[in-house]
Amino acid sequence: MHKHDLPEDPTKHPARLRWGDCVREDAMPRRKPSRVIGVLTGEGIGPEVIGCALHVLSAVESATGRKFKIEFGAPIGREAERGGGKVLPDEVIEFCRGIFARGGAVLNGPGGGRYVYDLRRVFDLFCKLSPLKVSDELAAANRMKPEHVRGVDILMVRENASGLYQGKWTEARTPGGRVAEHCFSYSEAEVRRILRPAAAIANSRRGDLTVVYKEAGVPSISALWRDCALEISSLAGVRCSLLDIDHIAYRLIQHPGDFDVVVAPNLFGDVLSDLGGVLLGSRGLCFAGSFAGNGDAVYSTNHGSAFDLAGSDKANPVGQILSLAMLLRESLHLEEEARLIEDAVDSVCREGWRTADLAEAGCPVIGTREMGERIAQAVAPISGASGVQIRAPGRHARSEPHAEPGAAK
């Protein structure tokens, strides 16, 4: 019997409400979680950071005896567009549908163009959850004063399938020059369905919900968000604050400890999630899960493809590795395995190893692959497994070149 198969002391790690369960809509059919993980390696630095995440997953398999079925999908983003004209090919849509139908989830590398927006629209991934929890181990590497960000633990809840990014746009030429139009809207149903999980999660945490809008600048949509937020937060028994986007952008940096759960429309949530990367110390640490009401979910980093870093072994893989831990916890209901990955990341950071984005005096700077390797090697001692043989990076990679770490340019 492996150590991770033994009963856990509930006082040591109190149970946490799974956030993904809060997103589920009651009328939707429930599927039994499986151990199927669909992988879209992405482009740019995607194959490198995905390769590290899968290497860590191999270490978890070896340490715990729990096995996963890993399946790879086709290219996405600009790479796919060059090959077939679509950033989200039909082949990838069917691949994801197959993974979801079997109770699995998708681990997604970065893809360019409108790939992520199209993916969210097709699968109605309306709720994006981005944890912004500052690591004590990386406090000194943060560009902000360690004492200012220590203990910060925010969950950013972003409406993901409506609003500005899912609007309609046109461009026309007039005698006065080009005219570009972009129209978007929010329905009451769309606003309520993102506020409900945000309020439920806030109720399970510290009971504080911050709702982002722009009261005078976007009056009708802001009024809709305000009215729905006040009603839903009251029913959920949580405290509700309403803040304009410019005000919260300032306060998020100036007073980050004031916030617990923050819920925002699509554009505002996008900006604030990236801004939250400053609190963490690097965008390379940012990750998220995007959820549909029926339990379908895609897990990814919050950064882009970083084509300028592709193949250089300089990208930080930690955000992608932590997105894997989130997938195991939220979609596959594997709390122990998720915590094992998170503890391995903390262990390596505590030892002082850093990628270039987190360089600090006195700490050795290592590359993407070595960081992934060190996190994988940290899994066995944390799990208590003995004599574990950690397989080399790329064990899950398929034979096509783009699936190997560092292959995409």
Positions marked catalytic: 165, 214, 246, 270, 274
Cβ neighbours of residue 381 closer than 8 Å, sequence gap 6 or more: none
What residues pair up with 168 in beta bridges, in sequence order? 183
Q: DSSP class of residue 198?
A: H
> Quick check: helix, strand or coil at residue 137?
helix
CA angle 133, 303, 145 (to 5 degrees): 40
Q: Is 34 exposed, middle or buried, given 0-12, 13-18 or 19+ CB atoms closer than 10 A?
A: middle
The position carrying tokens 């292959």 is 407
Please give the structure tokens belonging to residue 37: 């993980």
C-alpha torsion angle, residues 353, 354, 360, 362 (rounded to 10): 20
143 contacts 281 by C-beta, under 8 angstroms: yes
> How many Å apart are CA 1 and CA 292, to the nearest integer?
36
The three-state secondary structure class of 244 is strand
Rounded-to-5 percentages of helix, strand, coil across the chain: 45, 15, 35
Using CB atoms within 10 Å of the CB of residue 79, give its burial: 0 to 12 exposed, 13 to 18 middle, 19+ buried: buried
In the numeric block, the tokens 């849509």 are attached to 93
16 is written with which tokens?
A: 């946490």
Q: Residue type for 55, please? A: H
Q: Residue 97 to residues 131, 194, 398: CA-CA distances in angstroms?
A: 26, 23, 20
Q: What is the Rg, in whole angstroms, of the alpha carbon atoms belonging to the chain?
A: 21
Show the DSSP H helices in 311-399 as ranges: 318-330, 335-350, 368-383
